[in-house]
Structure 1
């Protein structure tokens, strides 16, 4: 897999290639497989983290391990609300903190925090609880069967979502573009000053492609902001935020 080492100190940045070429695009769901002939949808694990958060490097390492696990789509969202501690996160976007706050409202949490892990849009826990997260991923994998199929077209410019039982209120179809890793940032200020913070599957963009209400649809994929990014498409219920289906390439 291709890795890019981002060394950032005192606001200056340099990128150095440190890995082999990344895997090519695939039309199949990432990590999908079967259990006794039954298709299994991948479990989506979303980590909300920050380079200025002292407890986040351990959670980043856990996410990186999950990213290599079959049947898992692992995504890292960097948030900006700890920037005031002295280090502006180099990967953060306002949209990522907005996504986390949407989970806060749906899951009825008192506040947002880092590191936080959201599993299939329905369960949350601190990002350092390795055993609890692994167990939750296993449990979600057992529940995720016979969901609507998500398939990237071979042309690379469209994605299809098949038929299925839609939740009341329908579902949003999200495109998440991310950079495979590892990405390593040398933090110059704040709680992690002097540390090299490692990331995997860093989200660069999240776009709402449209609405799914149970009937098959075909959606256009916008052009990527930069090249060599992975793509994940998530079908997410509007009412409770549960991720109904997902695929990545």
Structure 2
């Protein structure tokens, strides 16, 4: 009887801990969903299929993307290439994304690691740390931007034509255009995630940098990727200071 009583007590404690953990995570998400202000949050996740610590971060950012709804929360997943030498080549990886992460490490005077999330170019944290990520989103959404960005994308003769407008003081800022695949699934055959089927969200397939054109409206063109599908891809634009990495504005567009 005593043994059964102890087992029952342990079971109750485990259920209580699980419930409290669920409530805690829900309250974190609810806090940023209720954030007031006209701000935004750009979440740049540096990840890799070769990293066994990355799938939880990928899952967290995918859930945040779904929960954001109409909130100006922009998730961008960059697959770095420095894990490729350890047994599995990530098909979405690109040396340019690794360099972008190294650039942030110089701004933050910190280490390069995966999974890492950079929020609005202002702060960074472990990509699977929900509390830190949620806090960053709340701060971003509660801020008061001094720069505005609108963007429209349309397919024209093998290219994607971009019409954009930037308002406010942009100094020497640049316009970054991320071509994003919303979802993909990979079966990993080697490396730390060998045998796993991984789900990816908001994969950056191409990243372009332009000097901002002053004036009411401006245009740029980028090539259409080979496997592009307008229903399953989107464009995310950012206005960023190349001297410190701070992102002053962001906007999203479907491709018409």
TM (norm. structure 2) is: 0.75
In the other structure, the counterpart of 1:196 is: 197
In the other structure, the counterpart of 2:31 is: none
Gaps of 5+ in 1: 1-33
Count of aligned pairs: 208
CA distance in 2, matches of 1:153, 1:94: 26
Whether contact under 8 Å (1:41, 1:246) holds in the other structure is no
Q: Shift of residue 151 of structure 1? A: 2.8
In the other structure, the counterpart of 1:65 is: 63
CA distance in 2, matches of 1:165, 1:239: 15
From the superposition, tell whether residues 103 and 151 of structure 1 become closer, same or farther in structure 2 (CA, over 3 Å).
Answer: same
CA distance in 1, matches of 2:217, 2:119: 25
Large movers: runs of 4+ above 3 Å: 153-156
CA distance in 2, matches of 1:113, 1:154: 36
- SS of aligned partner of 1:200: strand
Structure 2 residue 161 is matched with structure 1 residue 160: no
- CA-atom RMSD in angstroms: 2.0
In the other structure, the counterpart of 2:237 is: 233
From the superposition, tell whether residues 154 and 52 of structure 1 become closer, same or farther in structure 2 (CA, over 3 Å).
Answer: closer
In the other structure, the counterpart of 2:149 is: 149
- SS of aligned partner of 1:244: strand
Structure 2 residue 176 is matched with structure 1 residue 178: no
Q: Shift of residue 216 of structure 1? A: 4.0
Q: Deviations over 1:168-213 (max 9, x none)?
A: xx111011001011x1111101111111111101110001122357
Structure 2 residue 81 is matched with structure 1 residue 80: yes
CA distance in 2, matches of 1:41, 1:218: 23
Whose radius of gyration is greater, 1 or 2? Answer: 2
In the other structure, the counterpart of 1:119 is: 119
CA distance in 2, matches of 1:48, 1:95: 12
CA distance in 2, matches of 1:219, 1:236: 18
Whether contact under 8 Å (1:171, 1:212) holds in the other structure is no
CA distance in 2, matches of 1:43, 1:221: 26
TM (norm. structure 1) is: 0.77
CA distance in 2, matches of 1:126, 1:43: 16
Whether contact under 8 Å (1:180, 1:201) holds in the other structure is yes
In the other structure, the counterpart of 1:45 is: 43
Structure 2 residue 204 is matched with structure 1 residue 206: no
Higher RCO (C-alpha under 8 Å, 6+ residues apart): 1
CA distance in 2, matches of 1:99, 1:246: 17
